[in-house]
Structure 1
């Protein structure tokens, strides 16, 4: 038994700590039964360096698909190539508007207590990403956003910039596995904005990047071909579109396409500090998803109301027997 697991199982007995243990054991049981697991990434998990544990989960085949915001997709690579220029601001709660303005002037974009260096991170990637976008367009080829970044990683062109151990990059682990990824709402990411700017100037065409509708169509095929009779598991980190987009594929298949034999998601866990209030999707309890045809009555359901940057590495440590 791993040391982390031993500590958690002995000490985490009630409330959110007990929910953490139950969710981890449910995830473990799900995998032991031969079922696949989707993990969704919201917030700024890559900037929180979740890749340290997430990459190993991918390498050990404990994650079979990821749904992520465009920000998490690119911020893992930004951390990979510009980590030494990041600045931590532990006193971020005390910053004034003038302090924030000063950070902007220095090219530092703040995410809670961490500042991403614009020049070293964004611009270091931009030219290389443009080159693969342009090459595909000139050949009349189209790819999903994550596929372009896989090409970038596997080309080796970024290796000259690596500033962290590459084993801690979840995007490298995913690229090496060719892990299925969907990136709903990619357009609102920094690279999405950059791509849009090239389209406005006429350097690229919008059609070079496959769309969110095409992601949903792809996901419908993936779920149909991989869910079997019992369904795929859903481990949701945070809320937002990273979770809302993929979970809808089940009611779409069963209701809109009238494939009534489509199984519900077969496991569900959400790690979030958002509470149920005023129609919040992010804070909706799992049972609400029953009414939308996403989860069944008997689907194992867990909710851990806590900080994902603390909770998720512990859940992963249990699953990795660390």
Structure 2
């Protein structure tokens, strides 16, 4: 345990069986992946940004332990919303007991609930809207097109949000990613608040849909990135399920089967943190071996499923990797 901190030592001493042991095995295999010169994709589903994963995820980015991210549009924007409106968030510890009337009252107050946390519409969504619209519009007038995350990087690096910062900037994973110009794919970005807002401007004739690069362009970008970076292998660390995981993992069979690049290597590490059970065709609940049949993972790919709450597990795995 040379060089490891107290959290890592605690995990190794007490996390010995079942999901706890899988957590340790997955963390050690992730560590080996990096030590061998391989790269790692992390996919981010669920409301992990609102869960403030950025407090440790940003440091993972700064220490070059993540090389590309696939995330939902919600995670893309909600990290920045937390950055500029944190003091206006409202925690609802008794969220399980709320009546429909109480939920309606939250709506009337402009508080959009995510489990036990309410995001303030005016201070979060609308505060970003006026600034991001200008960046969208400026790009369109210059006849330039960018990906959703690239527009967010421009927003953060422009400095226009600095007057609103309500948390330490080092705790924003999006700011860390923007500084590093970290590669990213954001599949299904349209299914997010900023995606909805962009669509509304298109419908009003104030923006062109083509100003925003598309999901197909994200896939072709990812295909090129995978090809260029796969010499020593690329791992896949999946938080949750859904499109954030399914979209990027499909790049391998697309390259191998559809483009007929038969020298394309499989993902050479796979770990998923999930609370989904294996049933009824759920992608989130599919065991890793199913992915072998789809040409995503190899027989010998190290495979791990940690069946637990990602808000508990992800910080522990990252803490181990950061020698905390």
Tell me if both proteins adopt one fold, taking TM over 0.5 as the criterion: yes
Report deviation, 1:231.
2.7
Structure 1 counterpart of 2:202, from 199, 204, 215? 199
Task: Tell me the distance in 2 between the aligned counterparts of 1:127 and 1:227.
Answer: 40
Write out aligned runs for 1:240-319 (5 A). Answer: 240-319=242-321
Question: Is 1:22 paired with 2:25?
Answer: yes
TM (norm. structure 2) is 0.99
* Alignment partners' CA distance in 1, 2:233 and 2:294: 16
Q: Which runs of 5+ in 1 are unaligned?
A: none
Report runs of 4+ in structure 1 exceeding 4 Å deviation.
Answer: none
Deviations 1:197-223 (A, max 9, x none): 000000000000000000000000000
State the distance in 1 between where 2:295 and 2:233 align: 13
Q: Indicate whether 1:140 and 2:135 are aligned.
A: no
CA deviations over 1:70-99 (Å, ceiling 9, x no partner):
000000000000000000000000000000
Q: Structure 2: how far apart are the matches of 1:133 and 1:105?
A: 30
Unaligned ranges ≥5, structure 2: none
TM-score by length of 1: 0.99
2:56 is the alignment partner of 1:43: no
Tell me which of 98, 103, 108 is aligned to 2:111: 108
SS at match of 2:123: helix
The C-alpha deviation readout for 1:148-191, integer Å capped at 9, x for no partner, is 00001000010000000000000000000000010000001000
SS in 1 for 2:190: helix
2:174 is matched with: 171
Q: Could you say which residue in structure 2 is the equivalent of 1:232?
A: 234
1:37 CA displacement: 0.2
In structure 2, what is the equivalent of residue 187 of structure 1? 190
